[in-house]
Amino acid sequence: MSSPIHYTTCPACDSSDIHRVLATKDHTVSHKTFEIWECSRCTMRFTQDVPKQDDIAAYYQSDDYISHSNTSKGLVNRLYLRVRERSLKNKRKLVQSYTNAESMPRLLDVGCGIGAFMDHMRQHGWAVEGVEPSEVARENAHKQYGLFVYPPDKFFDTTLGDFDIITMWHVLEHVHLLNEYMDRLKELLRPQGTLFIAVPNYTSLDASQYQENWAAYDVPRHLYHFSPESMRLLVEKHGLHLRAVKPMWYDSFYVSMLSEKYKTGKQSVIKGGIMGSISNLNTLLHKEQCSSLIYVIGK
């Protein structure tokens, strides 16, 4: 394994005004501790000394990693699977509300995992394509849904074409080539198309409550940790336009339940559920403080 990536400037805006804010543990695979730093200019946080792109795969090798395996192991994952169908429906309705395509709309799901969202959209008349770095997840997409999913190098292939809708559901925080991905997303988006980027929000109430035990830090798999301000600046930097910011209501519960386990060492659905509810109630007053946010972006 090669030396990890040590940032001396912000990976988003290249500012040298960066500082350490906390240290947190990888609870899923390695149980190692990683530092999280913050940029004073754009407010994005990032995981320091992360494995390089060729070395990061080992940190995804866990049966508990639900987006790759569709596992029902553990109470939290079972609850996650139960609400996923409703979540998929909500995502479809949001996407459709920003769709102006006259014929069958074309959708690209980047980091599609096992293809649950692709399959859902296909069932509702969409032409879907997906890109996923995990070979295991690509195989599971074919086994479970009969989907052929592209490996990650296809994302930069000039034959990929362009799309009415591009979605990244909790994916941008995983990609090493952050600025290159943003530029490529702009290239792939049709003039009237819409890009949806969902990422955890470290300025949320549940993040403030759990601090280093906040499950959505998910080091070292999450390379970056976004605030609404950092996302706005990143979008503007790449010549895109932020059209709207939407909450992801269910994430507050899932993240809080995992965070409670990380904090206490015990599973507590009740305590996690209460914190998730409080976080969502706070979001009603402060709409950009939800545990995760969807950024709706156009050209």
pLDDT digits (tens, 9 = 90+) for 17-46: 999 999 999 999 999 999 999 999 999 999
Q: CA-CA distances (angstroms) from residue 107 to 76, 85, 119, 254, 279?
A: 30, 19, 11, 27, 32
Q: Which domains does the chain have, with CATH numbers?
A: 18-298 (3.40.50.150)
Return the pLDDT at 52: 97
CA 278 to chain centre: 22
Averaged pLDDT for residues 4-19: 98
Return the pLDDT at 100: 79
CA 80 to chain centre: 15
CA–CA distance, 278 with 82 (Å, rounded to integer):
21
Average pLDDT along the chain: 92
For the chain, what percent of residues have pLDDT higher than 90? 84
Return the pLDDT at 81: 62
- Helices of type H across the chain: 66-69, 75-97, 116-123, 135-145, 178-188, 205-210, 228-237, 249-264, 269-285
CA–CA distance, 256 with 153 (Å, rounded to integer):
34
Return the pLDDT at 232: 98
pLDDT band at 78 (very low <50, low <70, confident <90, very high): low
Residue type, 40: S
CA–CA distance, 67 with 93 (Å, rounded to integer):
21
> What is the reported pTM?
0.93
Return the pLDDT at 267: 81
Asked if residue 88 has pLDDT above 60, the reply is yes
Q: Is 293 helix (H, G, I), strand (E, B) or coil?
A: strand
User: In a 10 Å sphere around its CB, with 0-12 CB exposed, 13-18 middle and 19+ buried, how is residue 177 labelled?
Assistant: middle
Higher pLDDT, 269 or 149: 149
Averaged pLDDT for residues 151-176: 96
Return the pLDDT at 188: 98
